């Protein structure tokens, strides 16, 4: 069992997702700045996992902070972590959760503050695994027996504290006795599908076929794909979904070929402050991610690049959104608000 | 000016497209078997360029053949070249053209047969360049001034004997004084867009932005793309288009966003013997093209892969087909038949 992120001996231990699957290497972060760098450089990625990393980053920051001016230091820690990546809302959700706890603890002895902040970060991690299992449980019925599911990017154990969102649904369907195989988009430029999804499904013995992103349309048209399952980085109140770039393309092709398109994500991925996906900030990443693969140039020197890390899939293409609290169907303004307000 | 394929000193000289843009290396084929290997290994690729290579391969085979049993040798040469790649119909068109010429020359002195076969192969090359210029001329009016065109794969000078089909239309629009910039899909797994399209447009000073294939949908939705221009490997009588895998995806996304989708190809790409695209054979290529980039693994060992090199875009997504004889509009059964039968 792969461990995405753990709190071990006053440090945050991450599997280095930039090196998988060629190397299975764990790194330990001893300061919040190291955690921030790990998020920025995608050593850890995936919206729920980023949330856990941010929570642990705040705890680590408080653990290493001086007793003097603690308020100011907590602000700096939170602000620094909040600036690592703009799109996944789980990052801000986790930081806000830690900040609110700190507000409640202010004035207590620093040892106590540290203890509770670390406890909370570990709780965020444990809850995330439990949430993924609930998402899997809620979504498993949507995956037909003897079917092939298409997924994009990695919304698996590596994108969460464990078990995964989209891949959690697949795992739960398999655990329920269904025969499910997976088509995995390789997901350029960072190759999360080829490097991470294939790798973690191999470990579970779930049959997986790797394709390049531009083959998804061909296979959706072929009738071989029963449904699409993806994760999300931010979901607006109307059900518009920001997720890894290419998700919109898969959603349009799924609809064109009458294949159901499911999004699996925790409630913490909802951003009900945004009426639609149009206002979700889309991160632009470095050109070298596109022009180079593992450091090797695949384009001429001086190539101009666009590298949006995410795109927005309008709600009209989304068949259902699977959360730990239940499955939301259109119209999403209503179903998501009800789920968000309900108790687990 | 890049030279894709030339007949020089009784050999066929090709720029090695597997090494571009990192190395600009020409290789000389001295036997038809070397030409066949170059087509199979994609040292030369692109439907029109494959046609020229096949014609030159036949000529080279006849040049090196013995005078005894020439008929049998010509059959072997043609059959071997015909087995290199299954989808691009230009290959079969060019071989058939050379075979028919040989039938007419049978019984003449071998020196004369060789001379005329070589002449014909050089003519196929020269005609291809002229055809591309005519395609460009016919298509240029479809490209708006001050616009950005999306292209997939490489349908440029490198996919033809020169000038290009889809990129020929862009070149002709630029030569007509229009300001045109290009978005180039990188086109996994072989990266013809990143390696070849960006490289050859850079040489012409046409502003080009490289994106990964899965970003095309995002940019088609953004309103920044005025039209899509792609080549073709085979076009059925009803206008269904086989082209590099991913073309279908782009076509669906273009239609969904009301962006015109144009196919540029010579008449030799038409296969009017096929009623629809369903019966076009789709080449499956080696898994290593997907699991490795320039020899470097991007997926775990033992990964299962699908690697169809082409897909079929149903005619309903194709706004127009630009040929050297004119522009065909739907219904294509009628317009393509008329164009195919008309004189240049």
pLDDT score for A95: 98
Given B87, B105, B133, which residue is the final one in a domain? B133
Instruction: Cite the beta strand spans of A166-207 per DSSP E.
Output: 180-185
Q: Tokens standing for A93?
A: 């959700």
Residues of A in contact with B186 (CB under 8 A): 188, 290, 298-299
Q: What is the pLDDT of residues A282-313, one digit of tens each?
A: 999 999 999 999 889 999 999 999 999 999 99
Please give the full DSSP string across A231-258, using - where no structure is assigned: --SEEETT--EEEETTHHHHHHHHHHTT
pLDDT score for B344: 58
A156 plus A57 within the same structural domain:
no
Taking an 8 Å cut-off on Cβ atoms, the answer to whether B211 and A290 are in contact is yes
pLDDT score for B225: 98
A191 plus A312 within the same structural domain:
yes
Buried b / exposed e over B43-62, threshold 16 CB at 10 Å, is: bbbbbbbbbbbbbbbbbbbb
**How sure is the predictor about A225, in pLDDT bands with cuts at 50, 70 and 90?**
very high
Taking an 8 Å cut-off on Cβ atoms, the answer to whether B246 and A298 are in contact is no
Min Cα distance A115 → chain B (Å) is 40
A81 plus A160 within the same structural domain:
no
Does the pLDDT of residue A88 top 70, yes or no? Answer: yes
In chain B, which among 133-172 make CB contacts under 8 A with chain A?
A: 152
d(CA B99, CA A14): 64
CATH code for position B247: 3.40.50.10470
| Chain A interface includes B246 (CB < 8 A) | yes
Given B114, B133, B152, which residue is the final one in a domain? B133
Q: State the pairing for strand pair B5-8/B11-15.
A: antiparallel
B129 plus B149 within the same structural domain:
no
Q: What is the pLDDT of residues B59-103, one digit of tens each?
A: 999 999 999 999 999 999 999 999 999 999 999 999 999 999 999
Half-sphere exposure of B270 (CA within 13 A, CB side): 21
> Average pLDDT for residues A46-53, to the nearest whole number?
98
Q: Which residue of B has its CA nearest to A252?
A: B253
B333 plus B211 within the same structural domain:
yes
Q: Which of A215, A297, A308 sits opposite B245 (nearest CB)?
A: A215
pLDDT score for A344: 58
B122 plus B152 within the same structural domain:
no
Q: What is the pLDDT of residues B6-51, one digit of tens each?
A: 999 999 999 999 999 999 999 999 999 999 999 999 999 999 999 9
A31 plus A61 within the same structural domain:
yes
Phi-psi region of B92 (alpha: psi -120 to 50; beta: other; left: phi over 0): alpha
**How sure is the predictor about A42, in pLDDT bands with cuts at 50, 70 and 90?**
very high
In chain B, which among 9-28 make CB contacts under 8 A with chain A?
A: 21-22
Does the pLDDT of residue A314 top 90, yes or no? Answer: yes
* Residue B205, helix vs strand vs coil: coil
Q: Tokens standing for B310?
A: 């082409």
In chain A, which among 54-113 make CB contacts under 8 A with chain B?
A: none
Strand partners, B304: A209
Residues of A in contact with B291 (CB under 8 A): 194, 210
Buried b / exposed e over A253-283, threshold 16 CB at 10 Å, is: bbbbeebbbbbbbbbbbbbeebeebeebebb
* Domain hosting residue B63, numbered range: 5-133
Place of tokens 């999306």: B150
B157 plus B302 within the same structural domain:
yes
d(CA A55, CA A343): 22
pLDDT score for B59: 98
Q: Which of B22, B187, B188 sits opposite A186 (nearest CB)?
A: B188
A37 plus A179 within the same structural domain:
no
d(CA B124, CA B269): 14
> Average pLDDT for residues A226-240, to the nearest whole number?
98
Give the burial class of B258: count Cβ atoms within 10 A of its Cβ; 0-12 exposed, 13-18 middle, 19 or more buried: exposed
Closest CA to A233 of A281, A286, A173: A281
Q: Tell me if the bond preceding A66 is cis, omega within 30° of 0.
A: no
Q: How many domains does chain B have?
A: 2
A53 plus A195 within the same structural domain:
no
Count other C-beta atoms under 10 Å from residue A103's C-beta: 10
d(CA B319, CA B247): 14
Please give the full DSSP string across B281-330, using - where no structure is assigned: ---B--THHHHEETTEE-S-TT-EE--BSEEEE-GGG-SEEEETTEEE-S
Instruction: Cite the beta strand spans of chain A per DSSP E.
Output: 5-8, 11-15, 26-29, 147-151, 180-185, 208-211, 227-230, 234-236, 241-244, 261-264, 270-271, 292-293, 296-297, 304-305, 310-313, 320-323, 326-328
What ipTM does the predicted assembly reach?
A: 0.96
Given B133, B162, B182, which residue is the final one in a domain? B133
Give the burial class of B343: count Cβ atoms within 10 A of its Cβ; 0-12 exposed, 13-18 middle, 19 or more buried: exposed
Does the pLDDT of residue A168 top 90, yes or no? Answer: yes
- Catalytic residue chosen out of the listed positions A128, A233, A271, A311: A233
Question: Which regions of chain B are under pLDDT 70?
Answer: 1, 343-344
Residues of B in contact with A215 (CB under 8 A): 245-246, 306-308, 311
Indicate if the alpha-carbon torsion angle B212, B218, B220, B224 is positive or negative: negative
pTM: 0.97
Instruction: Strand B310-313: give its sheet, edge to edge.
Output: B270-271, B234-236, B241-244, B310-313
B100 plus B191 within the same structural domain:
no
Closest CA to A95 of A70, A69, A67, A76: A76
pLDDT score for A190: 97
CATH code for position A61: 1.20.120.420
The span from the first CA to the last CA of chain A, in angstroms, equals 27
- Give the helix/strand (H/E) hosting B230: strand B227-230
Residues of B designated catalytic? 233
Residues of B in contact with A191 (CB under 8 A): 298-299
pLDDT score for A1: 67
> Average pLDDT for residues A5-15, to the nearest whole number?
98
| Chain A interface includes B216 (CB < 8 A) | yes
Average pLDDT over chain B reads: 97
Share of chain A above pLDDT 70, in %: 99
pLDDT score for B93: 97
In chain B, which among 310-329 make CB contacts under 8 A with chain A?
A: 311
Q: What is the pLDDT of residues A316-333, one digit of tens each?
A: 999 999 999 999 999 999
Strand partners, A242: A234, A312
B222 plus B128 within the same structural domain:
no
């Amino acid at each position: 069992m792969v461990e995405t992120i753990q709190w071990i001996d006053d440090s945050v231990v991450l599997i280095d997702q930039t090196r998988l699957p060629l190397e299975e290497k764990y790194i330990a972060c001893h300061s919040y700045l190291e955690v921030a760098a790990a998020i920025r450089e995608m050593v850890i990625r995936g919206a729920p996992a980023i949330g856990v990393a941010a929570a642990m980053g705040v705890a680590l920051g408080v653990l290493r902070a001086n007793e003097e001016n603690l308020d100011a230091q907590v602000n700096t820690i939170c602000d620094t972590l909040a600036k690592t990546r703009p799109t996944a809302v789980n990052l801000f959700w986790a930081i806000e959760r830690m900040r609110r706890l700190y507000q409640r603890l202010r004035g207590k002895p620093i040892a106590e503050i540290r203890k509770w902040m670390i406890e909370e970060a570990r709780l965020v991690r444990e809850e995330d695994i439990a949430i993924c299992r609930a998402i899997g449980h809620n979504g498993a019925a949507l995956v037909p027996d003897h079917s092939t599911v298409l997924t994009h990017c990695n919304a698996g154990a590596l994108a969460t504290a464990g078990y995964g969102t989209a891949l959690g649904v697949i795992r739960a369907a398999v655990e329920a006795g269904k025969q499910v195989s997976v088509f995995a988009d390789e997901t350029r430029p960072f190759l999360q599908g080829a490097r991470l999804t294939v790798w973690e499904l191999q470990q579970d013995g779930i049959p997986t076929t790797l394709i390049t992103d531009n083959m998804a349309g061909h296979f959706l048209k072929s009738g071989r794909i029963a449904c699409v399952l993806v994760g999300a980085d931010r979901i607006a109140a109307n059900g518009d979904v920001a997720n890894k770039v290419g998700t919109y393309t898969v959603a349009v092709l799924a609809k064109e070929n009458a294949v159901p398109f499911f999004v699996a994500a925790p409630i913490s991925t909802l951003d009900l402050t945004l009426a639609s996906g149009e206002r979700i900030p889309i991160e632009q990443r470095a050109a070298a991610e596109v022009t180079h693969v593992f450091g090797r140039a695949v384009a001429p020197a001086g190539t101009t690049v666009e590298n949006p890390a995410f795109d927005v899939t309008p709600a009209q293409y989304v068949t259902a959104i699977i959360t730990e609290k239940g499955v939301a169907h259109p119209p999403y303004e209503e179903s998501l608000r009800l789920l968000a307000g309900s108790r687990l």
